[in-house]
């Protein structure tokens, strides 16, 4: 029978202690993944630690030195409607807008989206190209790690025992041009078959792809190739081929490997063409 | 007419939009128990042993049953199923045992304690393979089954029905043909996806009578199946269907009721509830059957089709008690709405170890039209004539003959075709340019026809009782499953009795209190039940006029009903209100006569007869045919393969529109469901396992996917229909998917021969081009 303890502390320290105390714990944030998993019996924790009682995790702030900080419990709808996000990180707002339905986004959070560590997480690819930092609280206090070190594999992050993600920090940039693209079976309320964030950030082209490898990926070699190049048709074609090399998509119930490969090229080309002035 | 043809608001609308309507799962009875079902992990296996001893001992468990408790075979057309497996598993998910407990959680825990031994058998996972001589047999005991006389199972094989059409001489026809083309198509299994999943509560009273609350389309069909399964007289089985949150065929017949009742037999009067999860709905209710279709067509140089040879191999799934009739319908409609002199059709229902195939809006027609309507476009291309022209040449007209040799009487197909051509400005306009780069525009057209696929002599009835104040109660067992029958039947009663719809309350779905109705299926309710309602109201009217004749001293045949009064033209000053006669007539001496006015009406479609067993030919095999046409405009992204359906024009010959607002809504729903089946929907089944039994990976359209819809109607009255009406609930879904497939060809020059038309298939076809 499905039984577990439920704990809703007011401080992050208590969360960490409970996580250490119980090995098989789950954090309840928006709950849009966890509750479904509990209901379906895919997750059977002995304790569920609800972090929504910690007020400061709901904060979202911006300053030019540190950039944008989004607390773990900020809902996707609150985040994508925040004026700093719309003004300075539009690509993130666009990606967040494609997660689930409006009802889901009223509860779901970006931190939940990435700690779930799904290869197709919509907010992961913008965070990768924005070189975001993951703020973690644990037994050793608070630390910040690069988003590039966060994802380990499918549904696996680098979080250690007693650690909890308290927020995401995105550095400030002068200019971000580009867009988030999502190819899915259906335009609304669907998971990405392939998704891509492609943007020119303070002059450098950056490319990240989702649902093409065990984790969302940055296409570093493609970016290297594009450095200081004019985006001619030939260059764009070559970049698309390079990005394809960096990806390792699989067959699953949503699409075949071949289809994902086709779409990777289309999204990379379209994303780069957007950057041609 | 006063009420027919008016957009009366839905009589059930307020209760539905305010959430006040109680569906079965909303019902909570005192001391209710909850059921759970132990299901097989194998698609095909011998059931060796079911050990329930540990489950029975779990505190809170009140009853545990196995196949032994439900051993009688049941089925609507072919008695091939038991409600739980007895000795053999035929699909993954088939129930082997069930539990009733104090809570859902305890019931589920008890299920985990049931130990089952299986011996896995090789499975039939493809209907074409299932026809092979060495294929494993899904029903080795078929010869012991009972079936209706219009079905042709072949014991010793996996064929549960082989329906034939033999019209004219196909070989002679092919010899006369200028071109012969042969094409193969595939239509996968899909599911209805009603917003409300199946739910049942059963309770046994101390006097041994059973009460069942079931979210079902057909309370009387459920009552009969349960009576057979449990050897109970009909007067001891009460089935209530309080509300149905979407049916689309999936809640026709009987599914989970038979699991809950034997539990309720063992719980000493405590009611037992079982509500399906979405996963159950996808796997353990009905799904639409798969179809492998091969069509060989001969056409002469004038564009006239001279011969057709069809092989339809249906993937019926583990039980085809209902599916055999879908296969029959697919057979007698196998030419589509075209006049073909020489026809040879084999429509074959094959048992497989897949989920149970059953009725789904369109009942075989959506499946066969996907093949027929693409095939006819391919023929047109061969002759270099346009898709509209080939349909003008071959489409059925009054006086023509359909596949069964029946002479066509009323048929507005050509009018519908011209209507759609005009609405889409098909022949004059240049195609509009695409809205974005990398997109191309395509247009496609498809005709369709459908008849109610039901036994010849299915019956309907209605009772109307006039209340003391001149209001009325109309009682039928036709179920409003979203199609609007409550409103339409009320309007029909209003028209005959001149009592406005807000003064008539319709009551449905209670076999103890509402009169017999065969089933709410087959687009038959407006036609069949509508006729019964007319008869009931005419009966009440006769009684009222008879009494008024005495009261007013005016002959009955000079009297008529208007605005709630009995009037005459001869003496307009003399009139009497209906309410004054509602409980009978009071005479001047203080005595009374007649008593309350209660009208009764019964109906069976007139003159529908069996077809010839060998040839499928017959003069009137169905009650009526509904014809129509749809045209679509789409855009396809040539790089991603994604389709956007921009516009759908629809025209159907519905005989007579009873309620314009409701019929438009019904057509919109059909178009969207057709669109879903065209570009999204498919149960992905691998080795008997459904891989996407959820809305994460089984997509249906959202509001975002709705195209512009231009909906119009032709009204050639149906001679035997109520006020000339005929059914359209299913037909309106039939042409959408083939029209989209034809538009894909128009846009890209490729043919996608299987549903759904996914971006992946489009890109693959473009690469192969």
How far does B704 lie from chain A, in Å, by closest CA? Answer: 7
* CB contacts, 8 Å: A262 with chain B: 763
Same domain, A137 and A190: no
Task: Quote the CA–CA distance of B145 and B81 in Å, as a whole number.
Answer: 9
| Chain A touched by B640 (CB under 8 Å) | yes
Q: What is the CATH number of the domain that holds A147?
A: 3.30.465.10
How far is Cα A85 from Cα A91, in angstroms, rounded to an integer?
9
Tell me, yes or no, if B759 comes closer than 8 A to chain A by beta carbon. Answer: yes
Q: Which of the listed residues A128, A152, A170 is the one where a domain comes to its end?
A: A170
Query: Residues A184, A155: one domain?
Result: no
Contact (CB<8Å) B759/A259: yes
Size of interface A-B (CB pairs under 8 A): 44
List the CATH number of the domain containing A38: 3.30.43
Residue B102 at interface with chain A, using a CB cutoff of 8 Å: no
Task: Say how far apart CA B186 and CA B754 lie, in whole Å.
Answer: 5
3-state SS string for B536-555: HHHHHHHHHHHHHHHHHCCC
The span from the CA of B495 to the CA of B500, in Å, is 8
Q: Is residue A266 part of a domain?
A: yes
Which portions of chain B are predicted below pLDDT 70? 429-430
- Look up the CATH number of the domain holding residue A213: 3.30.390.50
Q: What is the DSSP letter of A266?
A: H
**Inter-chain residue contact A253 with B691, CB threshold 8 Å:** yes
Ramachandran region, residue A273 (left: φ > 0; alpha: ψ -120 to 50; beta: rest): alpha
Q: What are phi and psi of B475, to 5 degrees?
A: -120, 120
Q: Is B182 on the interface with A (CB under 8 A)?
A: no
The number of distinct structural domains making up chain A is 3
Q: Among B94, B367, B633, B730, which one carries the catalytic annotation? A: B730
> Using a CB-CB distance cutoff of 8 angstroms, which residues of chain B are in contact with residue A270?
639
| Reported confidence tier of residue A36, pLDDT bands at 50, 70, 90 | very high
Which residues, other chains included, contact B222 with Cβ-Cβ below 8 Å and sequence gap of 6+? B212, B214, B216, B239, B253, B254, B257
Three-state SS at B545: helix
Question: What distance in Å separates the CA atoms of residue B469 and residue A56, rounded to the nearest whole number?
Answer: 66
> CA angle, B66 as apex, B62 and B71 as ends, to 5°?
125
Establish if A55 belongs to a structural domain.
no
For residue A106, give the nearest of A74, A83, A82, A72 by alpha carbon: A74
**Is A146 inside any structural domain?**
yes
Measured between CA atoms, how close is B683 to chain A, in angstroms?
Answer: 10
Q: Do A95 and A164 contact (CB within 8 A), yes or no?
A: no
Give the Cα-Cα-Cα angle B225, B231, B232 (nearest 5 degrees). Answer: 80
CA atoms within 13 Å, Cβ hemisphere of B369: 34
In this structure, are A40 and A97 located in the same domain?
Answer: no
Which of B193, B639, B757 is the mutation pick for testing A, counting most A CBs within 10 A? B639
| Band (A3; pLDDT cuts 50, 70, 90) | confident
Joined together, the tokens standing for residue B227 give: 């009576």
The two tokens of residue B410 are 């009323």
For tokens 């005595």, the residue is B591
pLDDT at B429: 66
Q: Give the H/E segment covering residue A51.
A: none
Q: CB of B151 within 8 Å of any CB in chain A?
A: no
One domain, residues A64 and A158:
yes
Closest CA to B728 of B658, B676, B678: B658
- Cα–Cα distance between A277 and B385 in angstroms, integer? 46
Query: Is A103 touching B (CB cutoff 8 A)?
Result: no
Domain shared by A77 and A136, yes or no: yes
Q: Which residues, in sequence order, are CB contacts of B39 under 8 Å at separation 6+? A: B92, B93, B94, B95, B96, B284
With an 8 Å Cβ cutoff, is A145 touching chain B? no
Residue A250 C-alpha, separation from nearest chain B C-alpha, in angstroms:
14
For residue A218, tell me if it sits in a domain.
yes
**In the listed set A126, A148, A170, which residue is the last one of a domain according to the structure?**
A170
The span from the CA of B508 to the CA of B514, in Å, is 6
Residues A142 and A212 in one domain: no
Q: Which residue in chain B is spatially nearest to A191 when comparing CA positions?
A: B696
CA dihedral B509, B512, B513, B516 (to 10 degrees): 60
Interface test with A, best of B36, B640, B695, B707 (most A CBs within 10 A): B640
Nearest to B697 by CA among A192, A235, A66: A192
Same domain, A164 and A180: no
| Chain mean position to CA A54 | 22
Do A205 and A153 share a structural domain? Answer: no
- Nearest-Cα residue of chain B relative to residue A258: B760
Q: Report whether B212 contacts B257 (CB < 8 A).
A: yes
User: What pLDDT is stored for residue A87 in this prediction?
Assistant: 96
**Touching check for A254 and chain B: CB below 8 Å?**
yes
Q: Which residues of A touch B639 (CB under 8 A)?
A: 266, 270
**Which three-class secondary structure string do you get for A42-93?**
CCCCCEEEECCCCHHHHCEEEECCCEEEEECCCEHHHHHCCHHHHHHCHHHH
Return the DSSP state at B186. Answer: E
- Residues 162-201, chain A: which have Cβ within 8 Å of B? 183, 185-191
B587 touches chain A (CB under 8 A): no
Residues A37 and A67 in one domain: no
Q: Inter-chain contact A253–B684, Cβ cutoff 8 Å?
A: yes
Find the Cα–Cα–Cα–Cα dihedral B355, B356, B362, B363, rounded to 10°: 140
- Which residue range is the domain that position A206 belongs to? 176-273
Q: Are residues A75 and A144 in the same domain?
A: yes
Q: Within a domain: residue A140?
A: yes
Read off the pLDDT of each residue in A152-170 and give the average, rounded to a whole number. Answer: 97
Domains detected in chain B: 13-121+198-275 (3.90.1170.50), 290-395+404-454+610-768 (3.30.365.10), 460-603 (3.30.365.10)
d(CA B630, CA B728): 13
pLDDT in tens, B87-141: 999 999 999 999 999 999 999 999 999 999 999 999 999 999 999 999 999 999 9
End-to-end CA distance of chain B: 57
- Nearest CB to B702; choose among A188, A191, A270: A188
ipTM: 0.96
pLDDT, tens digit, 9 for 90 and up, residues A6-16: 999 999 999 99
Contacts of B439 (CB under 8 A, 6+ apart): B635, B636, B637, B638
Pick from B640, B699, B758: CB nearest A263:
B640
Residue B615 CA to residue A230 CA, distance in Å, equals 72
- pLDDT, residue A1, reads 53
CA-based nearest residue in chain A for residue B108: A1
Read off the DSSP letter of residue B433.
Answer: P
Report d(CA A94, CA A108) in Å as an integer. 15
Shared domain check, A136 and A194: no
Give A226's Cβ-side CA count (13 Å radius): 30
Which residue in chain A has the smallest CA separation from B690? A253
Structural domain includes residue A150: yes
Strands B115-120 and B88-89: unpaired
Are residues A113 and A191 located together in one domain of the fold? Answer: no
Q: What global pTM score does this model have?
A: 0.97
Nearest to B369 by CA among B320, B430, B312: B312
Domain end among A135, A170, A205: A170
User: Is residue B715 annotated as part of the catalytic site, yes or no?
Assistant: no
């Amino acid at each position: 029978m499905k039984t577990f303890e439920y704990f809703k502390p007011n401080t992050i320290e208590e969360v960490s202690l409970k996580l250490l105390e119980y090995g098989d714990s789950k954090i309840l944030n928006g709950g849009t993944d966890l509750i479904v998993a509990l209901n379906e019996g895919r997750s059977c924790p002995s304790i569920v630690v609800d972090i929504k009682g910690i007020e400061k995790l709901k904060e979202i702030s911006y300053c030019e030195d540190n950039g944008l900080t989004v607390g773990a419990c900020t809902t996707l709808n609150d985040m994508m409607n925040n004026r700093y996000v719309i003004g300075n990180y539009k690509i993130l707002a666009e990606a967040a807008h494609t997660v689930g339905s409006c009802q889901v986004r009223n509860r779901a959070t970006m931190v939940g989206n990435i700690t779930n560590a799904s290869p197709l997480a919509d907010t992961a690819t913008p965070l990768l190209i924005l070189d975001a930092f993951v703020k973690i609280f644990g037994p050793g206090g608070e630390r910040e790690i690069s988003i590039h070190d966060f994802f380990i594999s499918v549904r696996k992050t680098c979080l250690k025992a007693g650690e909890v993600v308290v927020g995401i920090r995105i550095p400030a940039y002068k200019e971000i041009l580009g867009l988030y693209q999502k190819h899915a079976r259906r335009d609304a309320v669907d998971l990405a078959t392939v998704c891509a964030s492609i943007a020119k950030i303070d002059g450098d082209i950056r490319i990240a792809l989702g649902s093409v490898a065990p984790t969302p990926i940055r296409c570093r070699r493609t970016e290297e190739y594009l450095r200081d190049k004019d985006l001619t048709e030939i260059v764009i074609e070559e970049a698309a081929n390079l990005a394809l090399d960096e990806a390792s998509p699989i067959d699953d119930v949503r699409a075949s490997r071949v289809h994902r490969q086709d779409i990777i090229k289309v999204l990379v080309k379209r994303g780069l063409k957007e950057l041609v002035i | 007419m006063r009420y027919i043809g008016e957009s009366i608001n839905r009589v059930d609308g307020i209760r539905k939009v305010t959430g006040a309507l109680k569906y079965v799962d909303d019902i909570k009875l005192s001391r209710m128990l909850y059921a759970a079902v132990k299901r097989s992990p194998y698609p095909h296996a011998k059931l060796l042993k079911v050990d329930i001893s540990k489950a029975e001992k779990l505190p809170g468990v009140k009853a545990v049953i196995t196949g032994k408790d439900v051993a009688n075979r049941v089925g609507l057309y072919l008695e091939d199923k038991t409600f739980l497996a007895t000795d053999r598993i035929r699909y993954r998910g088939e129930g082997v045992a069930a539990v009733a407990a104090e809570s859902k959680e305890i019931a589920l825990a008890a299920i985990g304690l049931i130990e089952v031994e299986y011996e896995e058998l090789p499975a039939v996972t493809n209907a074409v393979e299932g026809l092979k001589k060495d294929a494993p047999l899904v029903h080795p005991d078929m010869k012991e089954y009972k079936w209706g006389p219009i079905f042709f199972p072949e014991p010793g094989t996996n064929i549960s029905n082989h329906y034939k059409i033999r019209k004219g001489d196909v070989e002679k026809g092919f010899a006369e043909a200028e071109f012969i083309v042969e094409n193969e198509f595939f239509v996968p299994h899909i599911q209805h996806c009603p917003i409300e999943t199946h739910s049942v509560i059963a309770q046994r009273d101390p006097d041994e009578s059973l009460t069942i609350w079931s979210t079902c389309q057909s309370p009387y069909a459920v009552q009969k199946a349960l009576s057979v399964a449990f050897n109970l007289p009909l007067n001891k089985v009460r089935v209530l269907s309080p509300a149905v949150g979407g049916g689309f065929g999936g809640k026709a017949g009987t599914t989970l009721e038979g699991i809950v009742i034997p539990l309720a037999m063992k719980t000493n009067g405590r009611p037992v509830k079982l509500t399906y999860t979405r996963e159950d709905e996808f796997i353990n209710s009905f799904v639409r059957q798969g179809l492998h279709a091969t069509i060989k067509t001969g056409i002469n140089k004038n564009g006239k089709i001279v011969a057709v040879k069809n092989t339809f191999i249906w993937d019926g799934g583990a039980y085809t008690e209902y599916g055999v009739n879908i296969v029959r319908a697919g057979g007698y409609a196998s030419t589509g709405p075209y006049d073909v002199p020489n026809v040879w059709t084999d429509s074959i229902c094959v048992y497989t170890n897949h989920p149970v195939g059953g009725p789904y809006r369109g009942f075989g027609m959506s499946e066969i039209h996907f093949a027929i309507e693409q095939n006819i476009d391919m023929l047109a291309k061969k002759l270099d004539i346009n898709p509209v022209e080939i349909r003008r040449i071959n489409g059925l007209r009054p006086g023509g003959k359909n596949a069964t040799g029946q002479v066509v009487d009323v048929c507005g197909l050509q009018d519908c075709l011209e209507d759609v051509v005009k609405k889409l400005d098909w022949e004059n306009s240049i195609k509009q340019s695409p809205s974005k780069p990398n997109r191309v525009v395509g247009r496609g057209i498809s005709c369709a026809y459908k008849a109610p696929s039901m036994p010849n002599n299915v019956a309907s009835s209605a009772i109307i009782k006039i209340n003391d104040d001149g209001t009325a109660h109309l009682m039928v067992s036709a179920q409003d499953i979203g199609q609007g029958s409550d409103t339409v039947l009320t309007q029909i009663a209003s028209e005959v009795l001149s009592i406005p719809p807000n003064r008539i309350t319709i009551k449905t779905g209670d076999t103890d209190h509402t009169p017999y109705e065969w089933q709410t299926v087959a687009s038959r309710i407006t036609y069949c039940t509508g006729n019964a309602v007319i008869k009931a109201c005419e009966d009440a009217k006769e009684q009222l006029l008879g009494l008024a004749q005495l009261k007013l001293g005016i002959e009955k045949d000079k009297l008529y009903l208007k605005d709630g009064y009995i009037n005459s033209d001869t003496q307009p000053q003399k009139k009497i209100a209906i309410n004054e006669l509602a409980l009978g007539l009071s005479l001047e001496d203080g005595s009374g006569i007649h008593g309350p006015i209660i009208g009764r009406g019964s109906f069976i479609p007139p003159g529908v007869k069996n077809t010839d067993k060998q040839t499928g030919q017959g003069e009137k095999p169905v009650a009526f045919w509904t014809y129509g046409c749809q045209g679509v405009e789409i855009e396809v992204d040539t790089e991603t393969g994604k389709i956007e359906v921009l516009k759908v024009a629809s025209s159907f010959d519905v005989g007579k529109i009873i309620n314009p607002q409701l019929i438009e809504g019904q057509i919109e729903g059909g178009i969207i469901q057709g669109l879903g089946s065209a570009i999204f929907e498919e149960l992905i089944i691998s080795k008997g396992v459904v891989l996407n039994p959820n809305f994460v990976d089984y997509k249906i359209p959202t509001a975002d996917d709705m195209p512009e819809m231009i909906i119009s109607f032709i009204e050639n009255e149906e001679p035997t229909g109520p006020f000339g009406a005929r059914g359209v609930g299913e037909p309106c879904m039939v042409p959408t998917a083939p029209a989209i497939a034809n538009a894909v060809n128009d846009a890209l020059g490729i043919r996608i021969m299987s549903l759904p038309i996914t971006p992946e298939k489009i890109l693959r076809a473009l690469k192969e081009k």
